[in-house]
Amino acid sequence: MSKKISAFEKERLVIQTSRDAEKTQAERNRLGQFATPPALALDILKFAATLIPTKKNIKFLDPAIGTGAFYSALRSVFPQRRIVEALGIEIDEHYGTPSQHLWADSGLTLRLADFTRETASPEFDLIVCNPPYVRHHHLSLEEKIRLHRQTQKNSGMDISGLAGLYTYFLGLSHAWMAPGAVAGWLIPSEFMDVNYGRAVKHYLLDRVTLLHIHRFDPNDVQFADALVSSAIVWFRNAPPPPEHNVMFTFGGTQVKPNVTREIPTTILATESKWTRFPLSEDMVPDFGPTISDFFRITRGLATGDNSFFILTEDQVKAHDLPAEVLRPILPSPRYVYEDVIASDAKGNPLLERRLFLLDVRISTNEIKNRFPKLHAYLKTGKERGLEERYICKHRSPWYAQEKRPAPLIVCTYIGRGDSKRGNPFRFILNESCATVANSYLAMYPKQLLAAALAKNPGLIRSVWQALNKISVEQLVRQGRVYGGGLHKLEPKELANVDASELAKLIQGLEHSGIMKQMEIFEGKAGHQTVSNLTS
Ligand SMILES: C[S@@+](CC[C@H](N)C(=O)[O-])C[C@H]1O[C@@H](n2cnc3c(N)ncnc32)[C@H](O)[C@@H]1O
C-alpha cells in the first residue's frame, strides 16, 4: 500500500466532518457518536506503545470504530509490519460505509455490525476504544437483560441496570483479549465514583491488571468539552498480582500529564471515590506507625505578602522597626544549605541570610502611641492595598500573623527528583527560635514524642536522623509528581509516611509510659494510631 497515513487521515477528517453535519445532535446522542479528536487519539496510541514490548506484533481491535480515529493513530505510531491484523466494528453505516471505502486495502477490516452481538474470539493484543456513551434510560429492559447476561459471561462483571452502554462494551471486550493483551478505554470518569461503577472497578482490580488511569483537567481547554469528565483506563489481560500500584495521572495529556501518583490497589479496594486520586491528600496510611503518630504537621505561615511582612536586617534598620514586633523566620529552603540550623544566644538562626517576620500583636492605638515608625510602615502596606488582599482581609487586624511557634523540624516539601542530593525532600533540624513561611512544612512533636523529648532532649537528633533515613521512594510514594518532575508532599501526605524506624527508636527508650502505649499500638486494629490513643 503506497498511500501515506497522513493522506488517509486527511480524508478521514473530511468524512467525519461531513457525516457529523448530516446528523442532528439528538441522532448522534442516540448512538454516542462523538469522535475522538485526532491529537488525543495520537496521544493515546503513543501511550499504548509504551505498554507493549517494542518487537511484539499487534492484532488491533476497536469495537466502536466510527471513521477510525484510533486506527489512523495506530498506523502513525506503529510501523505497518507490526500490525498483523486490525479489526474495527461499527454499527452505523452512515459512518461505517464511507470508512470502509476509505480504509479498503489499508490493512483494516471494518465490519458493519453491532459489537454487542458479535461472537468474541480472544485473539487481540491491543484494544483501544471510545465506546458509545449511551445512558441506561435509552436502553430497553430487554436490551439490558441481554447485555447483562452476555457481559457476565464474557468478563464476570455483574453490571448494574443503572450503568451506561460503555460499561457493557468494556466487559464484553474481555472475551476478545488475548492473554497479556493491553486495553485502553476512553470512558466517562463517573464510573470511578458512582455505585453503578462498582462492577467495573471490581473487574479492574480482581480480573485484570489495572495499569493506569488518566483524567483530564476540567480547567484544561485543549480537549473538546465532551472530554473534560473523561478518563483513559489502561489494563492488561493478566491476573492481578497480589498487590501492586496503579499510576493515576491528571491534567495535561496522557503522555505528559500534570500530576502523577502511584496508588496501591489495596487502597483502591477500600476507596469508593477513585477520582480523589491523584490529587487527594487523604491517602489511607500504611498499616503501622506513621509520622502522624509523632508529629503534628502544618504548612508554614502564609504571611499575605512576604515582601512586606518578611524583612532583612537592613530593612528593619531602615524602617527603624522595634524588636518587640519582630520574630526570626527562616529564609526559603534554597538559602538554607545546612540540615541543622544552629542558633545564637538570642535564638536567632546562624544563617547568612537573616530574616524577620513582622508579627504585630498590639492594638493600632498602642502602635500609634508607642511605635510611630511601625505605624508609618504599616501605612505603606495599606497604601499598597494589602488590607484588601485575600489573606489580610480575613485577618483582624489585617497585619496580624497566625500563631506559628518555631517548629523543631521543618521539611522542604517541593523539589525535583533529580536534585543533586537525590532526595527532593529534606528534614531540617531547627535549633533556633525561627518560625517558617509556607515554603516549608512545620513539624511539631505530639504528646508521645514530646514526653520522650522532655525526659531526653538530645533524642531530637536521633529523631531527625531517623526522618532523614526514610527512603526517597517512601516519601515520593505518598506525594505527587507534577509535570517536569516536580515532587510535592502535602501535610497529610507527609503525615501518612511510614515511621517504623522512628517507632523503634522511641520504643527502644525505656520510658515505661511510652512502652505501654506502644504495646497497645502494636496490637492496634485497622486504622488506629498512637495519636488516637494519646490525644
Ligand atoms: C464515541 S464514538 C467513537 C468513534 C471512533 N472510535 C472515535 O474514537 O472517533 C462511538 C462509535 O460507536 C458506534 N456504535 C454505537 N453503538 C455501537 C454498537 N452497538 N456496535 C458498534 N458500534 C457502535 C457509534 O456509531 C460511533 O461511531
Q: Is the CB of 95 under 6 A from ligand 1?
A: yes
Cβ proximity of 338 and 344 under 8 Å: no
pLDDT, residue 448, reads 85
User: Domain 5-276 has what CATH class?
Assistant: alpha beta
522 or 46: which leads in pLDDT: 46
The DSSP element (H or E) to which 32 belongs, if any, is none
Look at the alpha carbons of 70, 75, 81, 86 in this order and tell me if their dihedral is positive or negative. positive
Local structure of 114: helix, strand or coil = coil
Alpha helices in 156-217 (DSSP H): 165-172, 198-202
Pick from 9, 28, 91, 186 the residue to mutate for probing ligand 1's pocket: most ligand atoms within 8 Å of its CB. 91
pLDDT confidence of residue 219: 64
Question: Is 347 a residue whose pLDDT tops 90?
Answer: yes
The pLDDT tens digits of the residues spanning 192-229 come to 988 889 999 999 999 999 999 999 876 665 555 556 57
C-beta 71 within 6 A of ligand 1: no
Cβ atoms < 10 Å from Cβ of 89: 22
Interatomic CA distance for residues 336 and 341, integer angstroms:
8
Among 183-197, 212-226, 309-323, 504-518, top mean pLDDT goes to 309-323
Residues of each domain in the chain carrying CATH 3.40.50.150: 5-276
From 90, 95, 139, 167, give the residue whose CB has the most ligand 1 atoms within 8 Å, as the site to mutate. 90
Give span(s): CATH 3.90.220, the chain: 292-359+401-517
The pTM (predicted TM-score) of the whole model is 0.68
Of 19-28, 144-153, 172-181, minimum mean pLDDT range: 19-28
Is residue 184 lining ligand 1, measured as CB closer than 6 Å?
no
| Complete DSSP assignment for 237-299 | SSPPPSS-EEEEEEEE-SSSEEEEEEEEHHHHHH-S-GGGTTT-S-PPPPSS-BGGGTEEEEE
The cell 512544612 sits on which residue? Answer: 441
- Residue 365: Cβ-neighbour burial (10 angstroms; 0-12, 13-18, 19+): exposed
* Residue entry with cell 491534567: 251
363/366 Cα distance (integer angstroms): 5
Considering the domain 292-359+401-517, what is its CATH architecture?
Answer: Alpha-Beta Complex (3.90)
For 401-431, write each residue's pLDDT tens digit.
999 999 999 999 887 765 565 677 899 999 9
Please report how many Cα atoms fall inside a 13 Å half-sphere around the Cα of residue 320, on the Cβ side.
6
Q: Contact, 262 vs 479, CB < 8 A?
A: no
Q: Which of 71-85, 201-215, 298-312, 415-429 has the lowest mean pLDDT?
A: 415-429
Q: Which residues pair with 290 in a beta bridge?
A: 498
